[in-house]
């Protein structure tokens, strides 16, 4: 049986990230980038698909796990009948250097026999490397990969299993350091003598970064952990933030909704930008804004919903049949075919993100307005078409209400750019388009009998994405149609206090069999609505309910399985952490992200 997602922690170097289990095994790592092929893939298969386990050799138990304050340096305690140890794991933050994982065993009491078992398996757990031993260094070579394992103890090689193992004894006060590093074909191993200094330097880097956080409200530790997680999912050379560190962790255990989330989604743009700005991280917000502009630059007809870490457009989806999948959830997929879908909501997200950047006095980019003009010109041709919607359905396109509302947002932010910032554009056309969309949505996307907006035109079902209508300023929070929609979400989509995307019987909407968990971001959208409506105790209850699901080191996945009572979906999930940070900010300050985004310049209509 695989470990529960709650039993994993993440370490990273702002280029890639690894998942470390409570049992001392690194079961997932892609090198050299977050979206590269995995060289440890036990998470989606078994240990023969690659892992690096470092733990006591005999019977033992884990005694606790935590991050050092304000850092991404992890420590895990182990106890045996003869003593106790700590294993400290980190990835030094990269700055022109090769990726490294450093693992330090610290003797706490008594004597403990330790074992290191290193199984490198590039190509998502399939390729067996050629192992070569040189003094205390082991080289694992296959294709473009040349990975070195070195440190204070030597590993022995088993050529038949392509495994490197080391056994050693740790007494109280001892510190034994090990390292793996990925080298370019022409690279050279570095001296391992300074590994302890590298751990200390990594701690200092993360604490300096954490000290910039300006949030002083309740649950600050959890808030800061969410920001650190966002930073861990950032590809620092470009500023792009991946949706998650993993691929194919299932939305339903044993199911087929297994997607690759190691890319950057445009729909995450606005709340991510606002979260970073409100927390005091202007450099990261500017980098994210700049990534956004670079990624969507080009012909507006070719706008995608997601891009690679550096703005790559070709994210071809394929299956990895030799991996059984997490908890036998197959297929395992790499790449994501949804990048070819038409999703009209992304136009609104791009326009709103750039609008919010202007409102927050981020230095303007002269090319950004040119890009926005071209996007709106294209949207004038597209907004009346059906699309695949925010949930990336792989069945028929529909006139999704959320998509239409985000088209309204796009034109509204264009109008505001002219009215508030003096930019030049065909504002009369945009006002007309904004009004036409508003009228159409209120006419065709609202069910008068149920007193609720619907998932798509003609549908009778509610959809969690409708919770964003007041948050983007389409209608005020106290409009009866919004209040009716929130009530419908509470009635039809809430399960054990968490919010599903849409009713279970509507699973045919995405054309896939089986069920799914409740979505944490959808649940936090409801908390934002409560905050806007001054239902602060209700909002606080949701936020605390979500925080209670986090792993003991504060990490969240995409979804929650209320029946199995465990996290599911890709992990850790950036949007869940953005949602938590947004909700905390909106609860603790009158101009939080939900409030700022909901501000609008047009009069509410009845």
What's the pLDDT at 23? 96
Whether 602 shows a pLDDT value over 50: the answer reads no
- The pLDDT mean for the chain works out to 92
Whether 606 shows a pLDDT value over 60: the answer reads no
Altogether, the residues listed in the chain come to a count of 606
Taking CA atoms, 155 is separated from 151, 158, 163, 198, 338, in Å, by: 9, 10, 9, 21, 44
What's the pLDDT at 33? 94
- Considering only residues 362 and 19, tell me which one the structure prediction assigns the higher pLDDT: 19
Burial 129-147 (b: 16+ CB within 10 A, else e): bebeeeeebbbbbbeebbb
Question: Quick one: which H or E segment has residue 259?
Answer: none
3-state SS string for 499-561: ECCCCHHHHHHHCCCCCCCEEHHHHHHHHHHHHHCCCHHHHHHHHHHHHCCCCCCCCCCCEEE
Whether 149 shows a pLDDT value over 60: the answer reads yes
Average pLDDT of the segment spanning 73-84: 97
As a whole number of angstroms, the distance between CA 453 and CA 473 comes to 15
Are 5-188 and 220-598 in the same CATH fold?
Answer: no
What's the pLDDT at 600? 57
- Considering only residues 592 and 267, tell me which one the structure prediction assigns the higher pLDDT: 267
Whether 189 shows a pLDDT value over 60: the answer reads yes
Q: Tell me the pLDDT tens digit for each residue of 204-232.
A: 999 999 999 999 999 999 999 999 999 99
Q: How many CB atoms lie within 10 A of CB 16?
A: 27
**CA torsion sign, 216 to 218 to 224 to 227?**
negative
Structure tokens at 159: 């050529």
Whether 394 shows a pLDDT value over 90: the answer reads no
- Residue 604 — very low, low, confident or very high, per pLDDT cuts 50/70/90? very low
As a whole number of angstroms, the distance between CA 289 and CA 286 comes to 5
What's the pLDDT at 410? 97
Average pLDDT of the segment spanning 383-403: 93
Structure tokens at 572: 């850790």
Q: Tell me the pLDDT tens digit for each residue of 307-357.
A: 999 999 999 999 999 999 999 999 999 999 999 999 999 999 999 999 999
Structure tokens at 140: 């694992």
- Considering only residues 594 and 256, tell me which one the structure prediction assigns the higher pLDDT: 256
Q: Is the peptide bond before 479 cis (omega within 30 degrees of 0)?
A: no
Q: Is the peptide bond before 461 cis (omega within 30 degrees of 0)?
A: no
Which residues, listed in sequence order, are joined to residue 66 by a DSSP beta bridge?
A: 75
C-beta of residue 388 within 8 angstroms of C-beta of residue 343? yes
- Residue 601 — very low, low, confident or very high, per pLDDT cuts 50/70/90? very low
The contacts of residue 556 (CB under 8 Å, 6+ apart) are 226, 520, 546, 549, 550, 567, 571, 572, 573, 576, 577, 580
The contacts of residue 603 (CB under 8 Å, 6+ apart) are none
As a whole number of angstroms, the distance between CA 1 and CA 225 comes to 28
As a whole number of angstroms, the distance between CA 147 and CA 134 comes to 13
Please give the backbone phi and psi of residue 5, each rounded to the nearest 5 degrees, phi first.
-60, -30
What's the pLDDT at 605? 40
Q: Tell me the pLDDT tens digit for each residue of 362-385.
A: 877 778 899 999 999 999 999 999
Q: How far is it between the farthest Cα atoms of the chain?
A: 78
Radius of gyration of the chain (CA): 25
C-beta of residue 354 within 8 angstroms of C-beta of residue 289? yes
What's the pLDDT at 304? 93
Which residues, listed in sequence order, are joined to residue 54 by a DSSP beta bridge?
A: 116
Q: Is the peptide bond before 32 cis (omega within 30 degrees of 0)?
A: yes
Average pLDDT of the segment spanning 413-427: 95
Q: Tell me the pLDDT tens digit for each residue of 527-571.
A: 999 999 999 999 999 999 999 999 999 999 999 999 999 999 999
- Residue 590 — very low, low, confident or very high, per pLDDT cuts 50/70/90? confident
Average pLDDT of the segment spanning 376-401: 94
Taking CA atoms, 110 is separated from 89, 113, 152, 247, in Å, by: 22, 10, 20, 41
Whether 507 shows a pLDDT value over 60: the answer reads no
As a whole number of angstroms, the distance between CA 185 and CA 380 comes to 50
- CATH number, domain 5-188: 2.70.98.10
Question: Quick one: which H or E segment has residue 147?
Answer: strand 145-151
Using DSSP bridges, classify how beta strands 452-453 and 494-495 pair: parallel, antiparallel or unpaired: unpaired
C-beta of residue 525 within 8 angstroms of C-beta of residue 462? no
As a whole number of angstroms, the distance between CA 531 and CA 585 comes to 10
146: three-class secondary structure by DSSP: strand
Share of the chain above pLDDT 70, in %: 95
Note every long-range contact of 217-223, with CB atoms under 8 Å and residues 24 or more positions apart, other chains counting. 217/584, 217/585, 217/587, 217/588, 217/589, 218/584, 218/587, 218/588, 219/543, 219/547, 219/584, 221/554, 222/547, 222/550, 222/554, 222/580, 222/584, 223/279, 223/580, 223/581, 223/584
Average pLDDT of the segment spanning 114-132: 96
Average pLDDT of the segment spanning 73-81: 98
Average pLDDT of the segment spanning 119-137: 92
Domain layout of the chain by residue ranges = 5-188, 220-598
Lowest mean pLDDT among 176-185, 358-367, 587-596: 587-596
Q: Tell me the pLDDT tens digit for each residue of 451-496.
A: 999 999 999 999 999 999 999 999 999 999 999 999 999 999 999 9
* Cα dihedral value 90, 94, 100, 102, nearest 10: -30
As a whole number of angstroms, the distance between CA 232 and CA 14 comes to 5
Question: Quick one: which H or E segment has residue 64?
Answer: strand 61-67
- CATH number, domain 220-598: 1.50.10.10
Lowest mean pLDDT among 1-15, 106-120, 288-302, 476-490: 288-302
C-beta of residue 568 within 8 angstroms of C-beta of residue 252? yes
User: What's the pTM?
Assistant: 0.95
């Amino acid at each position: 049986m695989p470990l529960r997602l709650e039993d994993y922690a993440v370490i990273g170097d702002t280029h890639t990230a690894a998942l470390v289990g409570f049992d001392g095994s690194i079961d997932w790592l892609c090198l050299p980038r977050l979206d590269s092929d995995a060289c440890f893939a036990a998470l989606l298969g078994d240990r023969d698909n690659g892992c690096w386990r470092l733990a006591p050799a005999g019977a033992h138990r884990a005694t606790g796990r935590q991050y050092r304050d304000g850092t991404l340096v992890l420590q895990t305690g182990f106890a045996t009948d003869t003593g106790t140890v700590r294993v400290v794991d980190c990835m030094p933050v990269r700055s022109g250097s090769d990726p490294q994982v450093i693992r330090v065993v610290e003797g706490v009491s008594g004597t403990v026999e330790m074992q290191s078992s290193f199984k490198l398996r590039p190509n998502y757990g399939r390729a067996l490397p050629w192992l070569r031993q040189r003094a205390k260094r082991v080289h694992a070579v296959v294709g473009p990969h040349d990975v070195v394992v070195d440190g204070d103890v030597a590993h022995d090689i088993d050529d038949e299993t392509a495994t490197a193992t080391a056994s050693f004894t740790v007494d109280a006060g001892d510190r034994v350091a090990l390292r793996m590093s990925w080298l370019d074909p022409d690279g050279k191993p570095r001296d391992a003598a300074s590994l302890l200094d590298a751990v200390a330097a990594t701690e200092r880097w993360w604490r300096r970064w954490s000290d910039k956080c300006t949030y002083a409200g309740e649950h600050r530790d959890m808030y800061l952990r969410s920001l650190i997680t966002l930073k861990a999912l950032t590809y620092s050379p470009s500023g792009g933030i991946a949706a998650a560190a993993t691929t194919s962790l299932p939305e339903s255990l044993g199911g087929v909704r297994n997607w690759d989330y190691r890319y950057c989604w445009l729909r995450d743009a606005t709340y991510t930008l606002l979260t970073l700005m409100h927390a005091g991280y202007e450099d990261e917000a500017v980098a994210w804004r700049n990534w956004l502009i670079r990624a969507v630059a080009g012909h507006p007809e070719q706008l995608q919903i997601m891009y690679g870490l550096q703005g790559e457009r070709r994210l071809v989806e394929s299956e990895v049949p030799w991996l059984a999948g997490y908890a036998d959830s197959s297929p395992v997929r790499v790449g994501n075919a949804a990048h070819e879908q038409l999703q009209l909501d992304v136009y609104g997200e791009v326009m709103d993100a750039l609008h919010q950047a202007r409102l927050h006095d981020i230095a303007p980019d002269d090319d950004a307005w040119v890009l926005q003009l071209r996007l709106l010109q294209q949207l004038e041709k597209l907004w009346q078409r059906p699309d695949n919607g925010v949930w990336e359905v792989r069945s028929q396109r529909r006139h999704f209400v959320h998509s239409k509302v985000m088209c309204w947002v796009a034109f509204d932010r264009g109008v505001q750019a002219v009215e508030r910032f003096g930019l030049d554009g065909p504002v009369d056309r945009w006002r007309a388009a904004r009004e036409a969309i508003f009228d159409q949505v209120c006419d065709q996307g609202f069910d008068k009998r149920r007193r609720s907006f619907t998932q798509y035109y003609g549908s009778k079902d509610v959809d969690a994405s409708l919770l964003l209508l007041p948050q983007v300023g389409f209608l005020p929070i106290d409009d009866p149609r919004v209040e009716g929609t929130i009530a419908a979400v509470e009635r039809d989509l809430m399960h054990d206090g968490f919010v599903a995307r849409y009713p279970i019987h509507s699973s045919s909407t995405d054309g896939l069999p089986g069920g799914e968990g409740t979505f944490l971001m959808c649940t936090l959208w409801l908390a934002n609505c409560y905050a806007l409506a001054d239902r602060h105790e209700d909002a606080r209850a949701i936020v605390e309910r979500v925080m209670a699901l986090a792993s003991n080191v504060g990490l969240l996945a995409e979804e929650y399985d209320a029946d199995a009572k465990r996290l599911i979906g890709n992990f850790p999930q950036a949007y869940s952490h953005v949602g938590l940070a947004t909700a905390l900010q909106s609860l603790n300050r009158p101009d939080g992200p939900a409030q700022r985004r909901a501000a609008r310049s047009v009069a509410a209509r009845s």
